[in-house]
Structure 1
Amino acid sequence: MSESLHTVTTLPTERQGTCPFDPPAELVQAREHGPISRYAFPDGHQGWLITGYDLVRSVLADSRFSSRKELMRHHPLIDYGDIEVPPAPPGEFLLMDDPQHRRYRKPLAGKFTVRRMRQLTERIEQITADCLDAMERTGPPADLVTAFAKPIPTMVICELLGVPYEDRSSFQEQIDTFMGGEASDEELMAAYTATQNYLAELVAAKRAHPTDDVLSDLTGSDLTDEELKGISLLLLAAGFDTTANMLSLGTFALLQHPQQLAALRADPALTDGAVEELLRYLSVAKTFMRTALEDVEVGGRTIEAGTTVILSYNTANRDPERFTDPHVLDIRRKDGGHLAFGHGIHQCLGQQLARIEMRVALPALFGRFPTLRLAVPAGDVALRPETADIYGVKSLPVTWERGEKE
């Protein structure tokens, strides 16, 4: 291997001094030293940080690397000492390997096909229109996060799972708490416990009185109540938080790239490409971890059994060896194949749903409000901390001209 071995001693927690859409400078610099670096975990464990596209993709596809929660003993930012990490709760298959992972994922696969997601388009259009109608009635300014980016995926995923309408706002608040990266341990536990208790009641209600939704369908399988509760929590968190932040951060990015936005407005045929490029460029799901089950050679380095590896999606999606001008937002980009939804057996189950929500919501927003713009300087937009599981903006103040028609 030609590159010298680079060591990273801490994952950066802020993006100060750089473009808010770019990966932290320290991670970009690590990738410039080579696609794989040593990483010193806070508890002293010597692991690895992989920042290059090809190596990230290869690890995600390699069954010799585990996703099991109990093997991820080394938190990238916190020293938990000798605390033993328990296995993932029943149903939370993102942190499991096959065959347990397959048992939970297989019944869901048919619920999230491209065809079935396309059938949801009309309903997503209506939900989006309702949000835009409310923004128009209230008038500018507005916080796009609370008025638009959060309500749309919340409504969609809750309807899919069969969460009653009156419970959706409280669900959104609880998920905000344990995904936002700023809550105290006590707040996290309270939100998690409240959500678990609610889901237990919801599963029982669906067993007693099934309705036309995914959770009711799953009650007809051999999955236990505990397993259904875990699956529901995973789908709610993943289906809401990632898309909400893609909608808000994606809007922010387009407003900061007026030529790209103008091209999108002029040619609706560019919508699909714009969505894929925003997914690559923003990579809101920043990092994931895997643990080697045996000695594995990656990029000319031997990753020993039991060693934890951090996979940097945001630098992989900005790898100049894979993408031309990777730090440029280009909605006409031809070199696709980003890793925003992961790769391998854990590739995001709801990726088609997220794509459709973005394809519907973003053009509708800019079509309804042609003069949409930031209501504060770009530097004053409040960003989520890097400690949050999903990157994004906490608030996006926008304004527009009243009574405008395109």
Structure 2
Amino acid sequence: MSTPSTPAPAPIPTVRPAGCPFDPPEEFARLRTDHPVSPLAYPDGHVGWLVTSHALVRAILADPRFSHRSELAHSPFPGAGVSEKPQPAPPGAFTAMDPPEHTHYRHLLTGQFTVRRMRQLTARIQEITSEHLDAMERLGPTVDLVEAFALPIPSLVICELLGVPTEERARFQRDMTTLLRLDIPQEKKMAIFVALTEYMRELVVAKRAEPTDDLLGGLVAGGRLTDEELAVIGGILMGAGFETTANMLALGAFALMSHPDQLAVLRADPSVTDKAVEELLRYLSIIPGTIRTALEDVELAGQLIKAGQTVTVSIPAANRDPEHFPDPDTFDLRKPTAGHVAFGHGIHQCLGQQLARVEMQVGIPALFERFPTLRLAVPPEEVPLRTDMLIYGVHRLPVTWDGA
């Protein structure tokens, strides 16, 4: 039974303030102040918790008493998974495992995603970006920035990195987008997931027969993973490698065009590019959250989290916490952003975060350098937002510029 000091369980807030496409639901701010650990009603009937403070989010994500095993978890978002009930992670699905299984896979993959290797990709990312800007110029001066720029660049980069044939890129884009929709039946998602995994397995078999010099080929050559494990890993990396970055590129461009004073800062001083990328990651927080399940009773901010209860940590709420970030609701490319949790925290922190950073550090300045007069081609309120998707962003971003 709830007490006056503890709110009754309620679904996770999802409604963003009208006319503010970059701000999270307003309810997060109230909860963070009054009830940073509040009861959460999950769609499947489970009653767990929602955590909205920056300090508590980081504490949970670094605490081994909270599990990331998929079979223990309950999703706060209806339609977010590929099955209605929590299922054990298949071999290779390291993102849904705890140590020591997670540690085993993560160790094999970490060497493929070092800062040094990602930096070595910079020249190729610059080349791919330039090619798409050239194509935009030929198509313009009005294009959909998602289709012409934000989506193809990271999808082509991850295809090349993994060694996936370029002609399969469109298929992966379509299928990965479908998997992230919240209004698609689980049966359809499962069929797509199975087909993608089977394709990746066939690709792995081909790489065993004819070794290739790419990330997936390197894992195959390592000889420590089965075809089934490699197929699942390949699918995870493929999906994570372009969907999030694509939405950051598009929504980031939208945010900069909507804040001309900050865009002027970026144009005037290229040395702020790295800080600008971190501020975009913090301010936009396109990942709604992540979930953990208590393995034992844990007291947190005066609340008892019982063993077996799922805790949802809100990434947008944590990244707007005024206890950690000064004036957090203001978009300012020069403000300190250390400690943001856009890529998570702890042992499950995003493996490909350096790749995402490089793509944004290259792509965003290049876009506005090539098209200094770039602006929206429609009123801001007509930009279709991805409120029906697990990862936030824009479905389309019509833009235009001076000249033809």
Q: Tell me the TM-score normalised to structure 1 length.
A: 0.94
Where does residue 96 of structure 2 map in the other structure?
95
The Cα offsets for residues 280-305 of structure 1, whole Å up to 9 and x where unpaired, read as 00111111110000011112222110
The Cα offsets for residues 174-233 of structure 1, whole Å up to 9 and x where unpaired, read as 111112334343542342233122111111111111111011111123111110011001
Where does residue 246 of structure 2 map in the other structure?
244
Where does residue 60 of structure 2 map in the other structure?
59
Where does residue 233 of structure 1 map in the other structure?
235
Change in CA separation of 1:120 and 1:351 when aligned onto 2, cut-off 3 Å? same
CA contact (8 A) 2:76 2:312 kept: no
Pairwise CA distance, 1:130 = 0.6
Pairwise CA distance, 1:11 = 1.8
Q: Distance in 1 between matches of 2:77 and 2:184?
A: 18
Structure 2, unmatched stretches of 5+, are none
Q: How many residues align?
A: 399
CA contact (8 A) 2:279 2:337 kept: no
Q: Distance in 2 between matches of 1:389 and 1:77?
A: 10
Residue type matched to 2:156 in 1? M
Superposition map of 1:351-362 within 5 A: 351-362=353-364
Structure 1 range deviating more: 174-183 or 206-215: 174-183
Q: Distance in 2 between matches of 1:175 and 1:74?
A: 19
The Cα offsets for residues 140-186 of structure 1, whole Å up to 9 and x where unpaired, read as 21010010001111011111100012111211111111123343435
Given the alignment, which residue of 370, 373, 388 partners 1:371?
373
CA contact (8 A) 2:245 2:356 kept: yes
1:341 aligns with 2:343: yes
Q: Distance in 1 between matches of 2:84 and 2:78?
A: 15
The Cα offsets for residues 299-323 of structure 1, whole Å up to 9 and x where unpaired, read as 2222110011010000000001111
The Cα offsets for residues 301-355 of structure 1, whole Å up to 9 and x where unpaired, read as 2211001101000000000111111000110002422000000000001111100
Q: Secondary structure at the match of 1:394?
A: coil
Where does residue 218 of structure 2 map in the other structure?
217
CA contact (8 A) 1:10 1:77 kept: no
Superposition map of 1:182-197 within 5 A: 182-197=183-198
Where does residue 315 of structure 1 map in the other structure?
317
Structure 1 range deviating more: 223-232 or 164-173: 164-173
Q: Secondary structure at the match of 2:169?
A: helix
Change in CA separation of 1:53 and 1:75 when aligned onto 2, cut-off 3 Å? closer
Q: Secondary structure at the match of 1:247?
A: helix
Superposition map of 1:3-402 within 5 A: 4-73=5-74, 75-77=76-78, 84-219=85-220, 220-385=222-387, 387-402=388-403
User: Identity of aligned pairs, percent?
Assistant: 58
The Cα offsets for residues 31-67 of structure 1, whole Å up to 9 and x where unpaired, read as 2313211112234322110000000000000000000
Q: Distance in 1 between matches of 2:288 and 2:298?
A: 24
Pairwise CA distance, 1:109 = 0.4
Q: Distance in 2 between matches of 1:129 and 1:215?
A: 26
Indicate the RMSD between aligned Cα atoms, in angstroms. 1.9
CA contact (8 A) 1:18 1:25 kept: no
CA contact (8 A) 1:41 1:75 kept: yes
Q: Distance in 1 between matches of 2:176 and 2:274?
A: 28
Pairwise CA distance, 1:79 = 12
